[in-house]
Chains A and B, each alone.
Chain A
Amino acid sequence: MIRRIGPLCVGAVLFTLFRPTLAATAIGDLAPDFTLPAASGGNVRLSEHRGDVVLLTFWSSHCAVCLAQLEALSQLQTTYRSAGLVTLAISVDDDMKSATQFAKSHPERFPVLFDRLKEVGRAYGIEAIPTTVLIDRRGHVRYVQSDYHGTDNSYVARVRALLDDPL
């Protein structure tokens, strides 16, 4: 029995140690481009917003924290839209219906996109939701924050710093 399980255990340990890691985006990397369908219709491509500061937020309609963050982001977007802030809320829901319903019932002031195949989430190495990714005007990832606390507005300062940074 041990002879049978032994190699399996060794294999499992080796797999854990040397498992193929996803090429997650690191700070300073060029943000992977994507095109996703929007809840309001049409498609949105990230590279078309080069020159703007882009805030990506990965969320799910089943995540209460995400919904609270979306409310906060809505205010942030309203304040800094004219300065060149673009917010894209990317839903990673398995069921697009609930995400669509949420998007319709919460007409936020930014596009709600559907990452149905989770390709964009994988490209950015998203491991938890909500996750916020800040991209500068040159298209480089400058800040990644997982989780959200209502009192934590650290990314607001970063957004302002990036908006002050000219192209």
Chain B
Amino acid sequence: MTSARFFRRTVATLTVALCLTCQLASGAEPPATPPAAPAAAAPASAATVPAAAPAGAGAVATPAPAVSAGPDTSTRALDEQIQDLKQSVVDLNRDLFVLEEELLFPANTQVAVFLSMDVGEFFALDSVTLKIDNHEVSNYLYTPREVAALVKGGVQRLYVGNLKAGNHELVALFSGKGPNDRDYSRGASTKFEKGVGAKYLELRISDRVRSQQPEFEIKDWE
């Protein structure tokens, strides 16, 4: 039911985007022509005015602001249309993403694993291997930029998949550089029960100052 709603919204947004595109395509033509016409007409009036009277110079000068205001207004309108179109595309992209998520990972089977890192002085993360029920579901290599983002407080969605209801086991293997720049590998595991709703698990890497060692834990978000 919700998928159908999202689909309808997506189609509606797509229609709006297409309408705007058509409008944009047809609206792009008229603004180009008005400036050309006065420009072509200007020399003719300029040629005739000096012969008539000096006041004619004022007559030539007065229409000028009207001529310059035209393109400005039309450019602004065009710019607004472009911004609207961009917004529609962003909205459409968001709706499609949500729709895709809902179709591929329905809430009743969805399992998502997140990874967060606190401080990271005793552990430089290199890779995480994730196993669910002894099947490897993810093996992720981290670049220095990603590690920096995690240390700053970022949370990464490491894995999202489908699991049937029941008891399952999650094993996470972390590797990287530990204290004193030594190769360091640790594992963490948890058993969890998948119910009817979506399941969220978080892998946490934090520093244990007392033992000068990193700590790995898995938090089950109820």
Cβ-based interface call for A36 (8 A): yes
A48 touching B141 in the complex, CB below 8 Å, given contacts A42-B126, A43-B126: no
The interface-forming segment of B28-36, B50-58, B142-150 is: B142-150
Looking across the interface, which residue of chain A has its beta carbon closest to that of B127?
A: A43
- Give every chain A residue within 8 A of B127 (Cβ-Cβ): 43
Give, as a whole number of angstroms, the nearest-CB distance from B13 to chain A: 25
Chain B interface main SS type? mixed
- Give every chain A residue within 8 A of B146 (Cβ-Cβ): 45
A-B contact count (CB 8 A): 19
Measured in the bound complex, the distance between the Cα atoms of B143 and A34 in whole Å is: 11
- Give every chain A residue within 8 A of B141 (Cβ-Cβ): 35-37, 43, 45
- Give every chain A residue within 8 A of B140 (Cβ-Cβ): 35
- Give every chain A residue within 8 A of B143 (Cβ-Cβ): 35, 42-45, 48
Give, as a whole number of angstroms, the nearest-CB distance from A97 to chain B: 16
- Give every chain A residue within 8 A of B142 (Cβ-Cβ): 43
Within A7-55, which residues are at the interface with B (CB < 8 Å)? 35-37, 42-45, 48
Residues 47-90 of chain A: 1 if any B CB is under 8 Å from the residue's CB, otherwise 0? 01000000000000000000000000000000000000000000
Give, as a whole number of angstroms, the nearest-CB distance from B203 to chain A: 18
- Give every chain A residue within 8 A of B126 (Cβ-Cβ): 42-43
Residues 119-157 of chain B: 1 if any A CB is under 8 Å from the residue's CB, otherwise 0? 000000011000000000000111111100000000000
Measured in the bound complex, the distance between the Cα atoms of B127 and A5 in whole Å is: 50
Looking across the interface, which residue of chain B has its beta carbon closest to that of A37?
A: B141
Measured in the bound complex, the distance between the Cα atoms of B142 and A48 in whole Å is: 12
Give, as a whole number of angstroms, the nearest-CB distance from B118 to chain A: 21
Scoring A36, A42, A45, A48 by chain B CB atoms within 10 A of each residue's CB, the highest score goes to A42
Measured in the bound complex, the distance between the Cα atoms of B147 and A44 in whole Å is: 12
- Give every chain B residue within 8 A of A44 (Cβ-Cβ): 143
Looking across the interface, which residue of chain B has its beta carbon closest to that of A43?
A: B141
Looking across the interface, which residue of chain A has its beta carbon closest to that of B124?
A: A42
- Give every chain B residue within 8 A of A35 (Cβ-Cβ): 140-141, 143
Measured in the bound complex, the distance between the Cα atoms of B145 and A42 in whole Å is: 10
Looking across the interface, which residue of chain A has its beta carbon closest to that of B145?
A: A48
Measured in the bound complex, the distance between the Cα atoms of B145 and A43 in whole Å is: 10
- Give every chain A residue within 8 A of B144 (Cβ-Cβ): 42
Measured in the bound complex, the distance between the Cα atoms of B140 and A44 in whole Å is: 12
Measured in the bound complex, the distance between the Cα atoms of B127 and A44 in whole Å is: 12
Measured in the bound complex, the distance between the Cα atoms of B145 and A48 in whole Å is: 9
Measured in the bound complex, the distance between the Cα atoms of B144 and A29 in whole Å is: 27
B residues lining the A interface (CB < 8 Å): 126-127, 140-146
Q: Can you list 19 A-B pairs, Cβ within 8 angstroms, ordered by A?
A: A35-B140, A35-B141, A35-B143, A36-B141, A37-B141, A42-B126, A42-B143, A42-B144, A43-B126, A43-B127, A43-B141, A43-B142, A43-B143, A44-B143, A45-B141, A45-B143, A45-B146, A48-B143, A48-B145
Q: A43-B143, A45-B146, A48-B143 are in contact. List 4 more A-B contacts (CB 8 A).
A: A35-B141, A36-B141, A43-B142, A45-B143
